[in-house]
A and B are shown apart, each in its own frame.
Chain A
Amino acid sequence: MNINNITKLLKAYFYENWQNDLIFNFVIILAIALFSMLMSPFDTGVTSFAAVILMVYYPCRLFSKLQSPSSRMHYLMIPATNAEKVVTGMLLANIYYVFGIALSFVIGLLLGFGLAKIFNPDLMFTSDLFKSAFPSSWMSVLLLYTSIAIAFFAAIYFRKSPFWKLLLTGFVVSTVLGLITTVTVWLNAKAVLPAGSFSRNYIKTESYITSGKDWFPYVLCCITIVYCYAMSFLRMRETEA
C-alpha cells in the first residue's frame, strides 16, 4: 500500500468531483435551512433521518465509474492497486462525506434558525439545534459506520443503481428474517404455551442493537464493517473490464 498513490487518487477524485460536491452540499444547506425554518429548528427527527440517508446514499455513488465498460476500463487502468482504490473510497465515505454532510447540516440548521428568529424573536439558541447533525451515542456512530460499510459494498457489488438495489435488498432481507422469526416464535410458543395464550407479551421485544447495553451489538457491527470492506476489496480485485 503506497500512501502517495492514495493521495493521487484523492487528488484525482477532488479534481473530478469538487464542483458536484459543492453544489450537492449547497442544496443540502438550503433544504435544511428551509425545512428547519418552516417546521422548527429543534425538530430533529426528520433531519436526523435525512442526514443518515445522505451519508449512506453518497458512498453508493463512489464506484459509479464501474458502471459502463469504458469508464470501468479507465478506472481499472489508473496506476494504483485495488487495495489503494478501496482504501481511498473508504476515506471518502467514512471521513469526507460524513463530515461534509454534517457540516452542511450545521450550516443549514444555523441558517434556518436565523431565518426562524426573524419571524419569532423569542426563539432561543441552544446546542440542541445541532442534534440532527451528530449521532446521539456511540452505538449510533457505530450503526452509521456499519450502514456506510454496507453501502460501500453495495456500490462495488451492484454497479447500476446501487442505492435502490441496497434498499430493495434490505427490505427483502428484513421481511424474510421477520417472517422466519415470527414463524419460529409462533411454532415454539405453540409447543410450550397453553393453547390460546400466545401473545406479544411472551416475546422479548427490545432489540439487542438499540439497547446499547450489551457487547454483542458492538461486535456484530464491527464484524459487519470488516466483512463489507474485505468483500469490497475482493470484489474490486476480481472486477474485469
Chain B
Amino acid sequence: MIKLENVQFGYDANRMLFNGVSWQLEAGHLYGLLGRNGAGKTTLLKIMTGLLFPQAGNALIDGQPALKRSATQLSDVYFLQEEIYVPHLKIKQFEAAFAPFYPNFSHEQFMEYLAEMEMDNMPGFIDKFSHGQKKKVMIAFALATNVPLLIMDEPTNGLDIPSKSIFRKIMASYADEQKTVIISTHQVRDLHSLIDAVSILDNGRMILNAPGDVITDKLLFDVDNQKSQEGKVFYTEETPRGVYQVKENINHIDSALDLELLFNAAVQNKKEFTEMFQ
C-alpha cells in the first residue's frame, strides 16, 4: 500500500538526510517509527504523504506518486502533526467544515472519542484550548475519519497521564485489517503495548522494519541478575532491577518486546540488524 523506494532527500544540497531509504508498509499493522532526534522521522512521513518531494526515488501510495497529492489520495490519509494547527472554530464547526472531505468519517465515533477524552462538552474555540486539549480534539477527529492510512507524529506529547491511558485504550480498539497506523515517537514507553511492527530510522537509513512477532522470534528480551552467556548479546543495560539484555533468540523463547532496548540494540548493531531483518 505505502512504499518508499530508494528515497534521497536533504534540506541542504550538500548534506543529505536520506541516502536511499526504502520502506514498505502493509495494511493491518500499527507501526512504530523510531529514531533519534533529527533522524528525519517527520521528514520521512512528510515525503510519504507528498508534503515534501524527494530529490530521487519514489514515495508511492497505492502505486501512485504521493507528490501528486490527488484528492482521492489525500482523503485516504490523515496526518496528525506534532505541532497542531487548528483554525478558529468550535468543535462542531470544525467537524462540519472538514469531516465532509473524509468519506468514512463517523460522527458517532467522533462524539464517542471526544467523550472518552472528556472533551465532548467543551465550549469555545479550539484554538483557544490548551495544547493538550487541542491534541485530544484532533486525535478524536483523526480517528473518526477512518482513513486507511493514519499517521501520528508524537501523538502523546502534551497529553496528561490519564489521557495517555485513554489514548492507548482507544488505539487498541482502533486498528483493523484495512487500516495502517504509523506512530512516530520518542516516548516508546507510552506506546509499546500498542505497536505491532517496528521501523527504526538511523543515519538516513531504515535499519529495521519488521512485525513484532518476527522481532521476538529472532531476538530475546531478557532480564536477569547476571549477564547471559548463551547466544550473541546485542545490548546490555545494568539497572538496580537486574541486567536487561537483547540477545540472539537461538532457542526461540517467547519474550515481551521492549522498544527501548530494541532501539538501543539496533543503533549499536546497525549492520547485523539490517541483515537480520532484511
Q: A15-B93, A70-B81, A73-B51 are in contact. Are A8 and B101 (CB under 8 A)?
A: yes
- Produce 1/0 per residue, B61-92, CB < 8 A to A: 00000000111101101110101110111000
How many chain A residues have a CB neighbour from B under 8 Å? 24
Q: In the bound complex, how far is the Cα of B74 from the Cα of A78, in angstroms?
A: 7
B144-186 contact mask (Cβ, 8 Å, vs A): 1 or 0: 0000000000000000000000000000000000000000000
Number of interface residues of B (CB under 8 A): 28
Write the nearest CB–CB distance from B8 to chain A, whole angstroms.
15
Contacts of B75 in A (CB 8 A): 79
A73 cross-chain contacts in B, Cβ below 8 A: 46, 51, 79, 81, 85
| Inter-subunit contact B83/A70 (CB<8 Å) | yes
Contacts of B71 in A (CB 8 A): 2, 5, 79-81, 84
Contacts A5-B71, A69-B83, A70-B83; A79 near B96 (Cβ below 8 A): no
Partner of A74, one of B69, B85, B88, B96: B85
In the complex formed, the residue of A with least CB distance to B87 is A16
> Complex formed: what's the CA distance from A68 to B84 in Å?
11
Of B46, B72, B77, B85, which contacts A70 at CB under 8 A? B85
Q: Check A80 against B79 for contact (C-beta < 8 Å).
A: no
> What are the residues of chain B within 8 A of A77 when measuring CB–CB?
49, 51, 74, 77-79
Bound-state Cα–Cα, A238 to B69, Å = 11
Determine if A11 is an interface residue (Cβ-Cβ < 8 Å): yes
Q: Which residues of A contact B98 (CB under 8 A)?
A: 12, 78
Distance of A7 Cα from B225 Cα, bound (Å): 65
Instruction: Give A78 to B71 CA distance when docked, in angstroms.
Output: 8
B102 within 8 Å of A by Cβ? yes
Contacts of B51 in A (CB 8 A): 73, 76-77, 240-241
With contacts A80-B71, A84-B71 taken as known, whether A16 is within 8 angstroms of B85 at the C-beta atoms is: no
Q: How far is the CA of A181 from the CA of B88 in the complex (A)?
A: 49
- Asked if A169 is at the interface of the complex by the 8 Å CB criterion, the answer is no
CA gap between A15 and B99 in the complex, in Å:
12
Q: Which of B108-145 contact A (CB under 8 A)?
A: none
Q: Is A25 an interface residue (CB 8 A)?
A: no
Give min CB distance, A226 to chain B, whole Å. 23
B100 sits at the interface (CB 8 A): yes
Q: Does A210 interact with chain B (Cβ within 8 Å)?
A: no
Chain B hits for A161, CB < 8 A = none
Nearest Cβ distance between residue A4 and chain B, in whole angstroms?
A: 9
Q: How far is the CA of A81 from the CA of B83 in the complex (A)?
A: 24
- Within the complex, the shortest CB–CB distance from A127 to chain B, in Å, comes to 40
Contact B69 A82 (CB under 8 A): yes
For residue B230, give the distance in angstroms from its CB to the closest CB of chain A.
Answer: 49
A140 within 8 A of B: no
Task: Report B-chain residues with C-beta under 8 Å of the C-beta of A71.
Answer: 85
Q: How far is the CA of A68 from the CA of B81 in the complex (A)?
A: 13
Which residue of chain B has its CB nearest to the CB of A240? B52
Residues of A within 8 A of B77 (CB): 77
Name B194-248 residues within 8 Å CB distance of A: none
Task: Let me know if B52 and A68 touch, CB within 8 A.
Answer: no
Whether the Cβ atoms of B70 and A81 lie closer than 8 Å is yes
- The residues of A with any CB-CB pair to B shorter than 8 Å are 2, 5, 8, 11-12, 15-16, 68-71, 73-74, 76-82, 84, 238, 240-241
List 16 A-B residue pairs with CB atoms under 8 Å apart, sorted by A's residue number: A2-B71, A12-B97, A15-B89, A15-B93, A16-B87, A68-B85, A70-B81, A70-B85, A74-B87, A77-B49, A77-B74, A78-B74, A78-B101, A79-B101, A240-B46, A241-B51
Top 4 A-B pairs ranked by shortest CB distance?
A: A241-B51, A79-B75, A79-B74, A70-B85
Extra contacts besides A12-B97, A77-B74, A77-B78 (12): CB < 8 Å: A12-B98, A15-B97, A73-B51, A73-B79, A73-B81, A74-B81, A74-B85, A77-B49, A78-B101, A79-B101, A81-B70, A238-B53
